[in-house]
Amino acid sequence: MASDKASSRISGYYKKTVEERVSIAAEMADLTSDEVELLRSGGGLGLEAADRMIENVVGTIEYPLGVAVNFRINGRDRLVPMAIEEPSVVAAASNMARLMREGDGIKASCTDPVMIGQIQVLDVPDMDGAKKALKEAKESLLDLANQQDPVLVRFGGGARDLQIRVIETEAGEMLVLHLLVDCRDAMGANAVNTMCEVLAPSVEKITGGRVLLRIISNLADHRLARAEAVVKKDDIGGEKIVDDIVAAWAFADADPYRAATHNKGIMNGVIAVALATAQDHRALESGAHAYAARSGHYRSLSRWSKNEDGDLVGVLEMPMAVGIVGGATRTHPVARLALKIMGASKAIDLAGVMAAVGLAQNLGALRALVQEGIQHGHMRLHARNLVVMAGADGNLIDRAVEALVESGEIRFDKAQEIVRRLKG
């Protein structure tokens, strides 16, 4: 577990060698020699574990695992592991986290980890009667649900409530029963689906209808994570930049075409941490975008404003259905290690860190967009990808990158020309 006292403010982490970065992370997170070896080996999962995880396995695919530095969340410094193939994301998160460190840094909070299971009931003969009967049967239905998962109940979770909805659809009116389940440290899809399936026969008897679907909803709007930070105007480049960032945010909040890319930037951070910790990232994506559209209009997941001192205030609130038990979180050795590096011992810790990274990432993109534009920071890494695509390897890569950047034309045809010339 990462030491509570160690500072995550590490200047020049990006300039160190992989070996040095591993050593720093190992010291901060008290990693064992086996864990250090796992990082150094660059592998992790292994075919045997992969073969137990999904069907028809023929191999594994690796992603780079980076560590974002400088994060201070609720007064505690954390290193944040991120797995992602896109350049600039880890750098932007670290840079913005540095600007957000003042005081307690980023404030993160979470609701109780409550997920929704949906039971779809068709052909209900008397809707009012069915609703009344379901309300009367609530306690016995919750008891029946909880009998399915004594472990979850022992950890303080379990079925908490029922909500009854009637919706109009193209296939007619239907009753939809929501089962609210506190999943504690699990993401909870298996737990909730099992409960919904077990309740179905009772729900049919009570309502006189026919149950069709019994499945979790990924619009986890009872399981929200929130991150909030203030960035001093002088640290971000002055009051004009603050105003421009607020105007850029307002554009995203008003326009779905812009919001889709604005929220994608937030998800760059959220999903990179999700991948590093083996979360169900499809669930997170669908939950985030459905939540962004909850008003009937697809909007920004974040909100940026200027406070009375002229400083920039950012808030991100979004569903965060993450677990540290269940799924692949415990079976993937690198995911376990990532949680240890981050020092997350509860699912709500992880959810708060992910919201904080999403907020920092969002600021990184907004700041770049209102200033030099997004391509500037990407250029060097983009040049590296281009020269590799053009056939550069070994020592030639750095020389070709230099030449390509110097040419000022970061394009594939130019990369090919340079690589051809250097190969001579």
Footprint of ligand NAD (CB under 6 A): 149, 151-152, 155, 157, 183-191, 193, 216, 218, 280, 283, 323, 325-327
Tokens representing 350 are 């992880």
Active site residue 280: yes
Rama region for 225: left / alpha / beta (φ>0; ψ in -120 to 50; rest): beta
Sheet of strand 158-169: strand arrangement: 158-169, 172-182, 114-122, 210-217
Active site residue 264: yes
Q: Shortest distance, CB of residue 329 to ligand NAD, whole angstroms?
A: 8
Active site residue 378: yes
CB nearer ligand NAD, residue 334 or residue 410: 334
Tokens representing 262 are 């604005």
Backbone dihedral angles phi then psi of residue 223, each to the nearest 5 degrees: -125, 80
Q: Distance between CA 143 and CA 72 in Å, rounded?
A: 41
Q: Shortest distance, CB of residue 63 to ligand NAD, whole angstroms?
A: 18
CB nearer ligand NAD, residue 197 or residue 255: 197
CB nearer ligand NAD, residue 344 or residue 418: 344
Choosing from 244, 280, 311, 349, the catalytic residue is 280
Amino acid (one-letter) located at 297: H
CB 57 within 8 A of CB 47: yes
Beta partners for residue 106, in sequence order: 73
Q: Shortest distance, CB of residue 49 to ligand NAD, whole angstroms?
A: 14
Choosing from 4, 27, 62, 86, the catalytic residue is 86
Choosing from 235, 239, 378, 417, the catalytic residue is 378
Closest CA to 321 of 265, 271, 360: 271
**Closest residue to ligand NAD: CB criterion:** 326
CB nearer ligand NAD, residue 83 or residue 189: 189
DSSP for 189-238 reads HHHHHHHHHHHHHHHHHHHSSEEEEEEEES--TTSEEEEEEEE-HHHHT-
Q: Shortest distance, CB of residue 190 to ligand NAD, whole angstroms?
A: 3
CB nearer ligand NAD, residue 28 or residue 187: 187
Tokens representing 357 are 């990274």
Angstrom CA distances, 265 to 219, 238, 252, 269, 423, stand at 20, 23, 12, 7, 38
Neighbours of 412 (CB within 10 A): 12
CB nearer ligand NAD, residue 223 or residue 233: 223
Rama region for 12: left / alpha / beta (φ>0; ψ in -120 to 50; rest): left
Which residues neighbour 148 within 8 Å (Cβ) at sequence distance 6 or greater? Answer: 191, 194, 195, 198
Q: Shortest distance, CB of residue 184 to ligand NAD, whole angstroms?
A: 3
Q: Shortest distance, CB of residue 350 to ligand NAD, whole angstroms?
A: 12
Closest CA to 390 of 416, 414, 409: 416
CB 299 within 8 A of CB 293: yes
CB nearer ligand NAD, residue 130 or residue 220: 220
Give catalytic residues, as residue numbers: 86, 264, 280, 378
